[in-house]
Amino acid sequence: MDTSYVDNVLDNVLPELTTYIRRVLEDDRYSHLRKIPIIVSCELVVVRREQLESDTGTSDPKQVPAARAAIDALQKALGGGGDEVSCRICLEQIEQDMRVACMPCNHVYHLDCIVRWLETSHLCPLCRFALPTC
């Protein structure tokens, strides 16, 4: 197994994280806040690309489709409602007579847009809320 990824995390990422935390703790802008002790843990999971492809059918973990039952269970309605709202997938306005779907995270999209999206990715395009997968 190639250890360069693990070495990079240990040599670069973790020190950068601890440096960032120290900077925040020492920053005068946050001096009025009460500091509480915390325990930070880091779990490094290394998955081989071949294993990921065999588990998901793709090498991209974001490209795991949502379960059909989860897609069908989305709350559906007619768009509009007075607000100037646009679908964040196609970027077009959501008109009053258009069918929309509301994700459990409350983000609203054109029904056709979000269904197409969820057929390839189980994550909300805006906040990455995860719907159940197959």
Of residues 46 and 41, more confidence is placed in: 41
Question: For position 57, what pLDDT does the model report?
Answer: 53
Position 109 confidence tier, pLDDT thresholds 50, 70, 90? very high
- Chain mean position to CA 65: 13
Q: In the CATH scheme, what is the code of domain 60-134? A: 3.30.40.10
Residue 103 has pLDDT above 90, yes or no: yes
What are the backbone angles phi and psi of residue 10, rounded to the nearest 5°?
A: -70, -40
Q: In whole angstroms, what is the distance from residue 49 CA to residue 60 CA?
A: 9
pLDDT band at 83 (very low <50, low <70, confident <90, very high): low
Q: Is the pLDDT of residue 5 over 60?
A: yes
Q: What is the pLDDT of residue 79?
A: 79
Q: Is the pTM of the predicted complex or chain greater than 0.95?
A: no
Domain ranges of the chain: 4-46, 60-134
Q: Which of 19-23, 47-51, 120-124 has the lowest mean pLDDT?
A: 47-51
